[in-house]
């Protein structure tokens, strides 16, 4: 946890109050990425062989989702992977490896700031508006 100070200005004077701020999500370490790829690869390899035994495949997929949750923490990208793996016959594709790859590649991508969106919106509006 990081500590920041809030400055408050009142008629009596200026005061500072320390406040704990949670740190933003950090990038994953190489060990976490390698472990996640290993778990996903083993799960996908086992899923190919147990495609015709859905309860066993669901157990493997649930265990994989829990293991990846422990490795990566709360990531929404795990939910679509679990849903796709629950569809009978979809276990022959390497969905868990693709989920891990998407978490590693796109986890740090953030929505652009509103001012950036406003700039491009006004620029496109000027370009597309007919001049008369």
d(CA 45, CA 57): 11
Adjacent-strand bridge partners of 20: 3
Residue 28 is classified by DSSP as: P
Confidence of residue 123 (pLDDT cuts 50, 70, 90): low
Domains of the chain, by residue range, sit at 30-106
User: What does residue 89 show for φ and ψ, rounded to 5 degrees?
Assistant: 90, -15
Task: Give the pLDDT score at 114.
Answer: 61
The stretches of the chain forming alpha helices (DSSP H) are: 30-49, 54-72, 78-86, 95-106, 114-128
Task: Tell me the per-residue pLDDT of 59-93, one tens digit each, with 9 for 90 and over.
Answer: 998 999 999 999 888 887 888 888 888 787 777 78
Residue 115, CA distances (Å) to 29, 78, 123 in order:
32, 31, 12
Task: Give the pLDDT score at 124.
Answer: 66
Task: Tell me the per-residue pLDDT of 11-54, one tens digit each, with 9 for 90 and over.
Answer: 777 677 676 655 455 677 888 889 999 999 999 899 888 878 88
């Amino acid at each position: 946890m990081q500590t920041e100070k809030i400055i408050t200005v009142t008629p009596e004077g200026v005061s500072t109050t320390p406040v704990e701020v949670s740190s933003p999500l950090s990038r994953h370490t190489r060990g976490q990425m390698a472990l996640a790829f290993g778990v996903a690869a083993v799960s996908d390899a086992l899923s190919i062989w147990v495609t015709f035994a859905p309860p066993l495949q669901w157990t493997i997929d649930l265990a994989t989702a829990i293991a990846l949750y422990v490795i990566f923490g709360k990531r929404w990208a795990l939910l679509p992977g679990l849903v796709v793996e629950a569809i009978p016959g979809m276990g022959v594709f390497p969905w868990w490896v693709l989920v891990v790859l998407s978490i590693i590649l796109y986890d740090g991508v953030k929505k652009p700031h509103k001012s950036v969106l406003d700039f491009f919106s006004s620029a496109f509006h000027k370009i597309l508006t007919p001049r008369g």
